[in-house]
Amino acid sequence: MARVLVLQHVAAEPLGVLDPMLRQRGHRIRYVNFARDPDAQPVLDRYQALIVLGGPMQVGHHHRYPHLQTECRLIEKALHDEVPMLGICLGGQLLAHVLDGRVAPCDQAEIGWYDIDPTTATATDPVLQPLSQSRPVFQWHHWGFDCPTDAVSIAESSASGCQAFRAADCAWGFQFHLELDRRLIHRWLTLPFYRDDLAGSGLKKTPAEIQNDTQTYLPETLTLADQVFGNWLNQLDTPQQRVVLASR
């Protein structure tokens, strides 16, 4: 059993399918919701894993959202202490930023379903290895990251470059959203903030079109999510991790 610290930025972006997977393995979850408590100062010492979720703010918005600096400090400690970490969308961008990778606005926002491709390193990656061929995944972002210098790119796209990387053999950053199920995607496409964001993105897509794509692509993506997140959760169950858990 591990205690997992989860950094959340908005109510509409929770753990999704990761939540029941964590609970089924007996892990304990503590959410820190910065939308509700922007001045929260969580510490990592009592936790054996860190997950940083997505959100509408950007890495460069730390003056408006000081908690982003708090999050970067937690990521730095996770890397230093070799605590398993997963960053999703904004979380992946914060991880890239901490590792001195470039995080910047995309040439074009990605909202909806987009293909990602494995790299030469994907087949041996302990987490993303199930991504054996190009396939569509759900995206919602205006900023993206380059693979940090000391990290390994494990997913890319021809349109937007690096889509996932591994750092220090304990941290993974994903630009895409494998955690979303049908209910959460529907929620995003019906909430006014997300609908306005899509309308203002310059993309010629409607919520209905994205819903139709979801009908087509989500079933296989949920299978991929189960495999990938299962692999990441295995990082909490290694003999080395059990030694760490027993000593805390």
**pLDDT digit of tens for each residue in the chain (248 aa)?**
899 999 999 999 999 999 999 999 999 999 999 999 999 999 999 999 999 999 999 998 888 999 999 999 999 999 999 999 999 999 999 999 999 999 999 999 999 999 999 999 999 999 999 999 999 999 999 999 999 999 999 999 988 899 999 999 999 999 999 999 999 999 999 999 999 999 999 999 999 999 999 999 999 999 999 999 999 999 997 544 444 434 44
CB 59 within 8 A of CB 15: no
- Whole-structure pTM over 0.75, yes or no? yes
For residues 207 and 203, what is the distance between their CA atoms, to the nearest angstrom? 11
16 found inside a domain: yes
246 found inside a domain: no
160 found inside a domain: yes
- Residue 248's pLDDT is what? 41
Which residues, 6+ apart, have CB-to-CB distance to 68 below 8 Å?
Answer: 57, 59, 61, 62, 94
CB 100 within 8 A of CB 148: yes
Give the residue numbers spanning the domain of 128: 3-241
Q: What is the CATH number of the domain that holds 138?
A: 3.40.50.880
- Residue 238's pLDDT is what? 54
Q: How many Cα atoms sit within 13 Å of 189 on the Cβ side? A: 21
- Residue 19's pLDDT is what? 98
Question: Length of the chain, please?
Answer: 248
For residues 50 and 32, what is the distance between their CA atoms, to the nearest angstrom? 11
Q: Which two tokens stand for residue 58?
A: 């950007």
Instruction: Supply φ then ψ for residue 54, to 5 degrees.
Output: -85, 175
Which residues, 6+ apart, have CB-to-CB distance to 235 below 8 Å?
Answer: 49, 84, 126, 127, 170, 241
For residues 13 and 149, what is the distance between their CA atoms, to the nearest angstrom? 29
Distance (Å) of CA 3 to CA 20, 221, 241: 14, 27, 12
- Residue 7's pLDDT is what? 98
User: What are the tens digits of pLDDT across the range 2-24?
Assistant: 999 999 999 999 999 999 999 99
For residues 16 and 151, what is the distance between their CA atoms, to the nearest angstrom? 26
Number of domains comprising the chain? 1
- Residue 242's pLDDT is what? 44
- In order, the DSSP letters of 143-187 are EEEPPPTTEEEEEEETTTEEEEEEETTTEEEESS-TT--HHHHHH
232 found inside a domain: yes
